[in-house]
Structure 1
Amino acid sequence: MTDLETHVAPPRPGALRRAAPALLGYAAARLLGLLVLAVWSAARGRSAHTLLTARWDALWYARIAGLGYGHVVRLPNGDVHSDLAFFPLLPWLERLVAAVTPLSYADAGLTVGLLASLAAAWGVFVVAELVLGRRAGICAVLLWGVLPVAVVQSMAYSESLFTALAAWSLYAVLTGRWVTAGALALLSGLTRPVGAAVVAAVWVAAVTSFVRNRSAGTGDGAQNLRRALGMLLAPLGAAGYVLWVGHRTGRGPLGYLDVQAGWRNGFDGGYAFARFVAARFASFPSALAGLGLVLGVAAVIWLYVTGARQRQPLPVLVYSGVVTALALCASSYFGSKPRLLLPAFPLLFPLAAALARLRTSRAALVVGGAAAVSAVYGAFWLNGSGPP
């Protein structure tokens, strides 16, 4: 599929069998990452399990799962960190898993994250297969699993859960399953604020599909009803949570923005990030980091533009564009940007297409080398500053 329209694809037999090489390769890459993390952490006298389940955002999710919302941390500088900044689907699933198993909330979060990462990998495959073909679809999954910050996919974080919901919602859109697409978009909106990207993809695809069918004189009332229902469902998750936060804080629709402001987070069009990058060039050692940031942003933009030139389907471009814009234009937590870009998996499609054109032996060498680098970097990262 190479044009920018949404198509209804025919059913694909043996879906899991077709995805098996991608899933096995992905699992191998993540297993390597976890093994290296375990060895590295043990050498430093630290627990890899703790790093994966009981630090940073994972602590907030586990606390919400066990005690509900209401925890606030007031920092000496006046910042107010409220747990209302964290969307509820992952804590709900942690509570559910902990209720039916002997696992703690933290371990339940890790279990959800690991299972969701496999579902996400499968979702990346089915979308990439539709857009690029099976071989490139396998390559896309492998590339997603060996990103430098791919260790986050194996943590008690919400990135894997969100990516799984987003990918399968995109697949539903591309195959004309409007109600399923809307329901998955609803769930993605209960997982992370960037669920807005999935909603945008569903709405753009639905509107363009309706206009195209109307112009061609095709479609029927039942299809229009399903499309409208999908559009109605899509924003309910994010909107419902934001309105609930507004009611709880007494600030109405602005309540969630106030909560984010307490974390010094927001959307400023990239101004703060640009200032942060510019400040790196004030001295020679940090100038190298600044140059790396500039090259990284340029690479992300190049990948997106290349995907557009390759005529990726419109909902895929809308989704990856909104995820990228929200990640790059956030006004704080600049070290988190690689992690925030993890759900933007369609950015990897141009690289996957190029990798798919290589001979299998060369492609395996590239992926194997990237997996080793990812494993080492992930262990170094989590034993250092880690994902904020």
Structure 2
Amino acid sequence: MVAKKAVKKAARKSGDTSRAKEWKRLEKQFSNALGKASMGGYPAELEPRGMSFEHAFDPSPLLPPDYLQFVKELGYRWITTGETALGFLPPRWMLNLSQQMGEPGRKWEAVRAEREAGTHTYRFVMFASRDINDVNGYCFGKSEDGDALVVWNVEDSLPESELGPFSTWLEQEMQALGEALSELDEEREDADDEELGEPLGLEGESLEMAVAVKLPKKGGAEGVLAAFSRTEKELTLNGRKLGTLPASIGEFSELERLWLGSTGLKQLPGELGRLGKLKRLDLSFNRELRSLPPEVGQLQALESLNLKNTGLTSLPEELGRLERLTFLDLQATELKSLPACLFQMKSLKTLDLYWTPIPPEEIERLRQALPDCKVGTL
């Protein structure tokens, strides 16, 4: 058991030592208590599989000097107990999650329209996270009392309250992490570290550092698929302006992960249902995609379906047949009421309904029907 007094002393120590040194000292305590799987860092070059919007922005006016010095010395580090975690986001991930945040006092539809058009002025930039799925964590923005840059708490993709300057916030976070470490019970400390490791899942959600296949510039969507072996287990096509998904996608019989975010898709072929081993399907940020083919109900291995920021107004009833689906993202879709199929999906653990105009009473009925599912709403 790490001594609580020693942890607090290390976290609070200041003066001639930098915050970066205090963080290193805290990492050492985590490593000694829980092993090396409890701490680590993200490569600065880590690239999300797809950006939320085509138009990026320059975050530098929103990044305070003490934060810049911290990441200059340390890079983008993370710490986890398996239950409590904090990770500092590398640059492209900062932009990606910042694009997914709303703004206090504004409707998401208006914010989204500006970001799609490239006319939005960003007031906040997310720099650290506890949970990227629900966009929870911390961002920088100007104080409501002036122009000073302060840390804001982000809950369910919305900046909620000011937490003070970066250095003050960081000291408090390190103290909280130290206390979480010191309060672990004996059973948890003696357990193996299977629950530990990179806490935000950024590396699994990012592009490979080296791209093995050079995609053709011409030949349309069919030409793009022709560049890949039919035995591929993963296809990452985020950002490619496909427009359509060819029927030949059904030939990829070994496919387990298919990433089609921001590809300009307007419809999907029924042949998609032939992907019997597909576990993860990402169709996010295809605003002209209005419906799914009924054949999606044949994807019996599917565990995760991301439909965030699509133009969907309904879901096929066949979706209710997906007995292994545990994650479904319907954030910022055009759904005005809950499709009946959702009430059949007893395996769901996470359902994201943020920024949808679905009536609260319908959502409450769904919560009653799916008591084991976390239903996120605003």
Q: Which structure carries more strand by proportion?
A: 2
Task: State the TM-score, normalizing by the size of structure 2.
Answer: 0.25
Q: Normalising by structure 1, report the TM-score.
A: 0.25
Structure having greater relative contact order (Cα 8 Å, sep ≥ 6) = 1
